[in-house]
Amino acid sequence: MSHASVLKSLLEKILKLYGEFYVIAENKNKDLVSIDFSQMNEFLKSENFIAGQIKRLENQRAKAFEDISKNSEIVSLREFISTMEDKVAASELDSLRLKLIDITDKVKELNGRNLELIQTSLGIINNTLKIITDLSANNNDTYNRNGFDDRSQDSEQSSFSLVDVKI
């Protein structure tokens, strides 16, 4: 099998996996936007699985390219394509290269948006936890379990509650 055929096969597989990865990232984005995290674990498992497959194929691609560059001074896929005599095969490889660049850029952009949504969600969660922690840190229970005010009449203790406010 020629170097071009090996690279073409690997790039096609990698491109397919990046396409699947992008679909998962889109679905994750929809969950984040709608604040519906019911499928998030499944998305993360799928992303990790596909990322592992991509890494394996990228290692194979790097090995194939290493074999190509042993006998020449070619250092990039673009250079390799420009030296190919079979212009149809060169065109196919270049098309795959451009599609791969496009899908990886889209994945990066979408993952960036997802990261922003996650950071915003974490900020909201942290603020909510701070409010809850601050309220419970006062340790001023306005009412006991029976619903009656437990504080003595002469107590100057101020209390804070989400339901009522002492003025």
Check: CATH 1.10.579.10 for 3-138? no
In 3D, which of 32, 37, 41 has the Cα closest to residue 111? 32
Q: How far is Cα 79 from Cα 102, in angstroms, rounded to an integer?
A: 19
Domain boundaries, the chain: 3-138
**28 Cβ contact list (under 8 Å, min separation 6):** 40, 43, 44, 47, 114
- DSSP string for residues in 42-107: HHHHHHHHHHHHHHHHHHHHHHHHHHHHHTS---SHHHHHHH-S-HHHHHHHHHHHHHHHHHHHHH
95 three-class SS:
helix
| Amino acid (1-letter code) at residue 98 | L
Per-residue pLDDT tens digits for 109-159: 999 998 998 898 888 888 888 887 777 666 555 555 555 555 555 444 444
Per-residue pLDDT tens digits for 59-86: 999 998 888 888 788 888 899 899 889 9
Reported as a pLDDT band with limits 50, 70 and 90, residue 167 is very low
Helix axes of 40-70 and 3-34: crossing angle, nearest 10 degrees: 160
pTM of the model: 0.68
